[in-house]
Structure 1
């Protein structure tokens, strides 16, 4: 639940002070070219750049690791899936795991995909961790002319994310107090997880319905012009951030092409 929650230790960092829309656009522009290739070099360069500029966002490496650890699980799933179901097993055989043959081609493909997952996900984590959700909603309305109903609704949903983790704990403790425990049985654990997740989903839908009615009752859906308590200015530094992100991403992709390692995802 804490993957993209904001941390306010970065309020004075130079890049953390940039316009929220500029930071979000820069993350998208930086990550988009990484989808075009399967080679490991492009995401490696992107990761090196992301880790190098992390102090400019005022975020500690330990904080980033604590927030990004679920990506390690995703990476493990990718490796296992490719080892078991890869269609092309080119290159020399590294190991044989029963009926599965692990080749250098499979390992290179797995490495490229794992690095892409990290390189694409980390910019989003960094941006959301260093951006106040209220500032982001204000910037979307003021700078992008997004509908206020959408921006404020997204802000409300983002604010409710921490409650999901708390409710999961409460549901688990309540069931344990009633004697509902999976014990050591993996099947019982899966059933308990599914039932708890369903209860959490029902509670989230009910809370969302009540919140929507309350927001409508307070005039959030009114068509009258709105005023803004905090102005979000989009300046030259914000445009420079977006241009810089685009150029660095293009440079990483160009380096991959010039070294002959570029592997297009299509074709």
Structure 2
């Protein structure tokens, strides 16, 4: 009677990150990525990316695996490289001058720095987000950060309901066709079906709100917890590592004299 069988939850590809509390993951990602927004040079971005790949390798994610799992990031980095190189701030020797396109040594340098910085910020963020269970994150936000339970669990339930929209759309389409209403104008049919989907979503949201109020969400009575979310020493170690990565990268840039404030271009 006391057993509560649950399906296995997703886990991070890194054995170390899988042991970190979801709230610590979010805080650590912010501590690691925000300082990198203020620097635009190859040394800080490149050293940060290299340190991150090495640490991920130690944590069980090989560098080629991390790069393969984050391939959309590198497409965005390539776009940043091209845009900054072709249309960025001109400085140094001119390599190509054609209409609005001015390619200089400075624009090429900052284009490469921007692309590497995109990778240094996005790669660890994507790896940390993989296997992050939304329910565990919601429990941590409520129990550790003391966020309003009504807002957090309401948002979680709303995210879960997004997965039902496709099935609702299909069911509404079959229902309309069975009544002979699906053979008219395609635009009108889509608008009418979208309105029906809106009505279904509002009704479901109303039932969900009533059920949450009945279970005490948003009230003054303390709620019992099925899962207890707490911070452990490994979470502190993780946050220290996340702070150390940008500090080391920016320190190397300052020591070599290559640091450049990102918003001074």
TM above 0.5, one fold? yes
Correspondence for 1:218:
211
* Contact preservation (8 Å) 1:21, 1:136: yes
Deviation per CA, 1:189-236, whole angstroms, max 9, x where unpaired? xxxxxxx9x99x989977764553232121254413222111112012
Listed as ranges, the gaps of 5+ residues in structure 1 are 1-6, 171-177, 179-195
Q: State the number of aligned residues.
A: 238
Correspondence for 1:244:
241
User: For residues 12 and 77 of structure 1, do their structure 2 counterparts lie closer, same or farther at Cα, with a shift above 3 Å needed?
Assistant: closer
* Contact preservation (8 Å) 1:20, 1:139: yes
SS of residue paired to 1:118: helix
Moved more, 61-70 or 15-24: 61-70
Q: CA deviation at 1:145?
A: 0.6
Deviation per CA, 1:4-31, whole angstroms, max 9, x where unpaired? xxx9353781221111111111111111
User: For residues 251 and 110 of structure 1, do their structure 2 counterparts lie closer, same or farther at Cα, with a shift above 3 Å needed?
Assistant: same
User: For residues 204 and 249 of structure 1, do their structure 2 counterparts lie closer, same or farther at Cα, with a shift above 3 Å needed?
Assistant: farther
User: For residues 157 and 38 of structure 1, do their structure 2 counterparts lie closer, same or farther at Cα, with a shift above 3 Å needed?
Assistant: farther
- Of the three residues 257, 260, 263, the one matched with 1:263 is 260
CA distance in 2, matches of 1:207, 1:110: 48
User: For residues 92 and 248 of structure 1, do their structure 2 counterparts lie closer, same or farther at Cα, with a shift above 3 Å needed?
Assistant: same
- Of the three residues 57, 76, 79, the one matched with 2:78 is 76
SS of residue paired to 1:218: helix
* Contact preservation (8 Å) 1:16, 1:56: no
Q: CA deviation at 1:134?
A: 1.0
1:234 and 2:212 aligned: no
- 1:157-236 aligned at under 5 Å gives the runs 157-159=158-160, 209-220=202-213, 221-223=217-219, 224-236=221-233
User: For residues 62 and 266 of structure 1, do their structure 2 counterparts lie closer, same or farther at Cα, with a shift above 3 Å needed?
Assistant: closer
Question: If you compute each CA radius of gyration, which structure gives the higher value, 1 or 2?
Answer: 2
Moved more, 240-249 or 65-74: 65-74
Correspondence for 1:29:
31
Q: CA deviation at 1:61?
A: 5.2
Question: What RMSD, in angstroms, separates the aligned Cα atoms of the two structures?
Answer: 3.8
SS of residue paired to 2:20: coil
User: For residues 18 and 202 of structure 1, do their structure 2 counterparts lie closer, same or farther at Cα, with a shift above 3 Å needed?
Assistant: farther
Deviation per CA, 1:17-62, whole angstroms, max 9, x where unpaired? 1111111111111111101111121121121122222245555656
Moved more, 146-155 or 89-98: 89-98
Correspondence for 1:145:
146
